[in-house]
Structure 1
Amino acid sequence: MASAAFEEVVEDFEFLEDWEDRYRYVIEQGKAMEPLDEALKVPATKVEGCASQVWLHATVEDGRFHFDGDSDAMIVKGLIALLRRLYNGLDAKAVLDVDARAEMTRLGLNDHLSAQRSNGLRAMIERVRAVAAG
Structure 2
Amino acid sequence: MSTDAFEDIVETFEFLDDWEDRYRHLIEIGKAMPAMDSALQTPASKVEGCASQVWIVPRIEDGRFDFIGDSDALIVRGLVAVVHALFAGLPAAEVGKVDAAAELRRLGLEDHLSAQRSNGLRAMVARIRDHAAAAT
1:10 aligned residue: 10
Matched ranges for 1:23-38 at <5 A: 23-38=23-38
Superposition RMSD in Å: 0.6
1:132 aligned residue: 132
Shift of 1:123: 0.3
Give the letter for the 1:63 counterpart. G
Shift of 1:103: 0.6
Shift of 1:39: 1.1
1:64 aligned residue: 64
CA distance, structure 1, for counterparts of residue 46 and residue 61 of structure 2: 21
Structure 2 stretches lacking a partner, 5+ long: none
Give the percent of matched residue pairs that are identical in Structure 1 and Structure 2.
Answer: 64
CA distance, structure 2, for counterparts of residue 101 and residue 37 of structure 1: 29
CA offsets 1:32-73 (integer angstroms, 9 cap, x no match): 111111111011100000001110011111100001111110
Shift of 1:74: 0.3
Shift of 1:98: 0.6
CA distance, structure 2, for counterparts of residue 9 and residue 38 of structure 1: 27
Which aligned runs of 4 or more in structure 1 are off by greater than 3 angstroms? none
Structure 1 stretches lacking a partner, 5+ long: none
Matched, 1:117 2:117: yes
Give the letter for the 1:105 counterpart. R
The count of residues paired between Structure 1 and Structure 2 equals 134
Give the letter for the 2:131 counterpart. V
Q: Secondary structure at the match of 1:69?
A: strand
1:21 aligned residue: 21
